[in-house]
Each structure stands twice: as structure tokens, then as C-alpha cells.
């Protein structure tokens, strides 16, 4: 489940495969709500364009073109952006990996979930976007054009401060966790990092936002920045049953304190971690450490 760190790592790894290269042709799947811009228009808009850069805001990626305009990509829950070369192995789903013998794992073949397939004039590695559940999104923006979804995004979560959080929480009746997940307040935080940050800050996720103190807001902001930064450093791994054979993948999953640890002992006090539901999302916390 890609959140800010996973998107940042994807951004850094995909950039060398895109920047400076001219797109020769684009293959897409059939139209679906995955395509905010219809697939035929995406293909037409990308063909012949040269990528000038890749950037990220919150969980959104922008693949920018020389002469203006860009392709906006959101990975949703299961989105993957990767090249046909060395990086493909790490970015395939656990299922796809498990079904392949180790010696076969370098040969990715586009499947029905591969919604974009980019080929380049230089004949080098292809680039794929794959998304099994289609919660991801792609859209094309012309030069200077914007989109409401992007306009509304709050400050990137790596830049969050206690002051910002404090002012955003005033008069808000929602659970503090729901507020952290609100991309209009803060862009990039997802379910895992919200739970982890609230644990580190010692704040119970069900607490109403308006009742969180200024000091606690400072704690949450510090915890968020620290966790996101640390996760990027470790490769931005998300929670998964899969363990990379070579162990070279992101390892943040090994550092989580509460997420997906229901009934297991808290690392600080030993109390069993509790699981509840907030805003349709599984929520994990220590009943003793988080007030």
C-alpha cells in the first residue's frame, strides 16, 4: 500500500529510467475509471514526448515533459511503476513473484493489470504501470493545466509542523487519525504511518482532533517526519507477507510498532496491541502507551 515513502522511493528509482528519454509508443488497457484521462488520449498525449523530470507531492507522481505538460500518476493501493530491466523484480506483486521460479523472475510480461506500457525511441528498457485493484489513477495535464485533486492537496507530509497540525485540528470533531489521513490537511500519510506516528507520540487514534494539545501536535509532527524519512531510507517498504529472497528490499515493515500487530505485546510496555476501526480503516494502538 504505497504511501509517501513508497511513492518517494518509486520516484527516485523510476527517474533514471525516464528522464531524457523520448517515448515512441504507448500501450494501454481498455478504458476504466482508472483512467481520469481516457486511455486513447493518454497514448496520443505521450507519444513523441521527451521526459524532462519526475516529481512527487503527497502520494502523487508527476512525469513532466519537455515543452510543458505532464502525466500524473497515483499508485492507489496496488499500483506499481517499474522498468523492464533490473528493477522489475522488486516491484512485482508478491503473488506474481511467488508464481515464478527464481531464475524466471527477470522476465516480466505485461498482463491484464498492466495499464500502461511505454516504449522509447532509444530501444532501451520499457516502463510499465501495473495496478491490480485499479484504485490508482492516471491523468494527463497540458502545459500550465492543473487538476482539482492536485490543487486541493495539503502540504507535503515531510514538511509538517506542530503549528500547522495544531491549527488544522482546532474545532475538528473527527478522530485525530482521520485528520492525519485527510490529504487536504496533509498530503502523503496513509494508514500505516498514521498509526505508527500516533503510537510514537503517545496519542490515542480515537481522540478527537480538537482535544489534541499543542505539545501533542508537536510530537505527532516530529514522529511523522521521522518515520517517513526513516522509511524512505530503508527503501519504503510496505507491510507484506513477502520477504525478498536477497533481503535487499525496503525493511520498514520490520520497524513498525503497532500496525498489523493486534494482540501482540507492545514493545514498550508489553500490553497487547488493540485493533479497532476508524473511518473504515483498521487502526492499531497500545491502550497503555496512548492516552
Partner DNA sequence: ACCGCACCCTGAGCGC
Partner DNA sequence: TGCGCTCAGGGTGCGG
Q: Where are the alpha helices (DSSP H) in the chain?
A: 4-18, 39-46, 88-91, 94-98, 148-151, 162-169, 176-181, 191-201, 214-233
Least CB distance from residue 167 to DNA, whole Å?
Answer: 11
Least CB distance from residue 43 to DNA, whole Å?
Answer: 21
Catalytic choice (13, 49, 56, 59): 59
Q: Known catalytic residue: 281?
A: yes
Among residues 60 and 120, whose Cβ is nearest to DNA?
60
Q: Known catalytic residue: 109?
A: no
Coil, helix or strand at residue 288: coil
Q: How large is the greatest C-alpha to C-alpha distance in the chain, in angstroms? A: 59
Q: Which of 162, 166, 286, 285 is nearest to 222 (CA)?
A: 162
Residues within the interface to DNA (CB under 7 A): 1, 3, 33, 58-59, 74, 76-78, 94-95, 98, 113, 132-135, 149, 171-175, 178, 181, 183, 190-192, 209, 241, 277, 279-282
Q: Known catalytic residue: 2?
A: yes
Catalytic choice (27, 207, 225, 281): 281
Least CB distance from residue 203 to DNA, whole Å?
Answer: 17
Among residues 29 and 216, whose Cβ is nearest to DNA?
29
| 98 CB neighbour count, 10 Å cutoff | 10
Q: 35 CB contacts (<8 Å, ≥6 apart)?
A: 28, 42, 115, 137, 138, 139
Task: Please state at what angle helix 191-201 crosses helix 214-233, rounded to 10 degrees.
Answer: 130
Among residues 79 and 83, whose Cβ is nearest to DNA?
79
Among residues 107 and 173, whose Cβ is nearest to DNA?
173
Q: Known catalytic residue: 59?
A: yes
Least CB distance from residue 1 to DNA, whole Å?
Answer: 4
Query: Which residues are known catalytic residues?
Result: 2-3, 59, 281
Amino acid at each position: 500500500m504505497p504511501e509517501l515513502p513508497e511513492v518517494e522511493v518509486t520516484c527516485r528509482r523510476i527517474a533514471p529510467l525516464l528522464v531524457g528519454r523520448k517515448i515512441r509508443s504507448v500501450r494501454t488497457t481498455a478504458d476504466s475509471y482508472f483512467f481520469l484521462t481516457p486511455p486513447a488520449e493518454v497514448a496520443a498525449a505521450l507519444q513523441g514526448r521527451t521526459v524532462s523530470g519526475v516529481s512527487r507531492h503527497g502520494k502523487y507522481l508527476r512525469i513532466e515533459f519537455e515543452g510543458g505538460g505532464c502525466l500524473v500518476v497515483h499508485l492507489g493501493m496496488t499500483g506499481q511503476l517499474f522498468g523492464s530491466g533490473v528493477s522489475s523484480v522488486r516491484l512485482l506483486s508478491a503473488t506474481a513473484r511467488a508464481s515464478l521460479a527464481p531464475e524466471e523472475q527477470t522476465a516480466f510480461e505485461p498482463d491484464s493489470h498492466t495499464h500502461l506500457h511505454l516504449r522509447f525511441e532509444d530501444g532501451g528498457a520499457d516502463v510499465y504501470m501495473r495496478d491490480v485493484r485499479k484504485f490508482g489513477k492516471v491523468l494527463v495535464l497540458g502545459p500550465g493545466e492543473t487538476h482539482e485533486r492536485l490543487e486541493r492537496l495539503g502540504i507535503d507530509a515531510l514538511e509538517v509542523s506542530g503549528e500547522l497540525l495544531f491549527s488544522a485540528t482546532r474545532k475538528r470533531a473527527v478522530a485525530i487519525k482521520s485528520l492525519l489521513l485527510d490529504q487536504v490537511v496533509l498530503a502523503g500519510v496513509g494508514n500505516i504511518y498514521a498509526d505508527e506516528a500516533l503510537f510514537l507520540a503517545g496519542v490515542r487514534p480515537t481522540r478527537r482532533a480538537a482535544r489534541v494539545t499543542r505539545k501533542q501536535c508537536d510530537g505527532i509532527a516530529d514522529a511523522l517526519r521521522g518515520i517517513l524519512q526513516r522509511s524512505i531510507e530503508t527503501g519504503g517498504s510496505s507491510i507484506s507477507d513477502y520477504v525478498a529472497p536477497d533481503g535487499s528490499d525496503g525493511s520498514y515493515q520490520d520497524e513498525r510498532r503497532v500496525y498489523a500487530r493486534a494482540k501482540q505485546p507492545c514493545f514498550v510496555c508489553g500490553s497487547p496491541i488493540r485493533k479497532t476501526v476508524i473511518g473504515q480503516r483498521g487502526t492499531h494502538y497500545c491502550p497503555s502507551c496512548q492516552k
